[in-house]
């Protein structure tokens, strides 16, 4: 497989960032820049397979995505002082890599996702909405938004999804995401994360106070079983996209955790 598309900036202790489903490394850019310039870190933001500018593949499993990231670690010669951080689907990729290759990491950060199985039915409307955008017929982003709005009511969610829309060289619109594969592989994205042995290094879970992706049950049982040296910090008044809604809080939490 080709190497994952990534952006490498800053110098210092490495922090690798993995986005969530239908996202790209761009979702983290303003924070990534700040961690590189203000926190003195080497920040590597990554596009996972079937997303952003990375390669498309008919397969989309956590084992394969973790392997993709590991190959990037090898290519960049990242040492065991590396922190890996992932949001949502990216958080599950990060957990998978940490449990399978604990020797490659110093610490782990998981943003608003638990290791348990997640029912992906809430994504069906999003997939239907993306399919409803007729790429051959639309002439601008407003028309794409109108088509998407038939299925996705939330403006913020639509703006996030439409970041995947781009113009090809012939000026026709296309999606950067591999929509057909992601739609077909949604059940795999919801898969539970398990491990033969727990990850024994420092782990920070950041949850949105208004999000239900990490429950009290997860906090008491699911998370400590796999990540015994973990803490769960709740960012008040934030939903699932914690980093977009409360960037200051996330900036500070990550900076102090990585610099410990």
Short-list 210, 173, 189, 136, CA closest to 22? 189
- Collapse the DSSP code of 205 into the 3-class scheme (helix H, G, I; strand E, B; otherwise coil) and give the result: strand
Please confirm, yes or no, whether 211 is among the known catalytic residues. Answer: no
Contact 53, 60 (CB under 8 A): no
Annotation says 74 is catalytic: no
User: From CA 94, how far away is CA 85, in angstroms rounded?
Assistant: 6
Helix or strand or coil: residue 115? coil
Check: CB of residue 208 under 8 Å from CB of residue 112.
Answer: yes
- DSSP character for 5? P
Q: Which of 54, 88, 118, 230 is catalytic?
A: 88
Catalytic residue selected from 8, 131, 180, 229: 180
180 is catalytic: yes
Structure-block tokens of residue 211: 């999000």
Q: Which of 19, 51, 87, 240 is flagged as catalytic?
A: 240
Supply the DSSP string of 28-92, one letter for each residue. GHHHHHHHHHTS-EEEEEEPPTTSTTSPP-S---HHHHHHHHHHHHHHHT--TT-EEEEETHHHH
Residues designated as active site: 88, 180, 240
């Amino acid at each position: 497989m080709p190497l994952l598309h990534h952006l490498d900036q800053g110098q210092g202790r490495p922090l690798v960032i993995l986005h969530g489903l239908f996202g790209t490394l761009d979702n983290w850019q303003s924070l990534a820049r700040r961690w590189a310039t203000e926190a003195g870190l080497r920040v590597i933001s990554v596009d996972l397979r079937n997303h952003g500018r990375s390669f498309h593949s008919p397969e989309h499993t956590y084992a394969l995505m973790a392997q993709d990231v590991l190959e990037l670690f090898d290519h960049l010669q990242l040492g065991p002082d590396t922190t890996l951080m992932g949001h949502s689907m990216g958080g599950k990729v990060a957990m998978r890599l940490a449990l399978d290759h604990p020797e490659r990491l110093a610490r782990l950060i998981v943003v608003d996702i638990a290791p348990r199985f997640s029912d992906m039915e809430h994504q069906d409307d999003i997939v239907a909405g993306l399919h409803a955008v007729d790429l051959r017929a639309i002439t601008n982003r407003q028309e794409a938004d109108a088509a998407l709005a038939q299925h996705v009511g939330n403006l913020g969610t639509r703006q996030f999804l439409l970041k995947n829309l781009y113009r090809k060289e012939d000026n026709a619109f296309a999606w950067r995401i591999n929509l057909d594969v992601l739609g077909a592989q949604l059940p795999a994205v919801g898969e539970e994360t398990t491990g033969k042995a727990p990850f024994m290094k420092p782990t920070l879970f950041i949850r949105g106070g208004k999000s239900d992706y990490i429950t009290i049950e997860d906090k008491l049982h699911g998370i400590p079983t796999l990540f015994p040296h973990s803490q769960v910090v709740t960012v008040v008044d934030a939903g699932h996209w914690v980093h977009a809604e409360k960037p200051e809080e996330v900036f500070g939490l990550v900076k102090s955790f990585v610099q410990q």
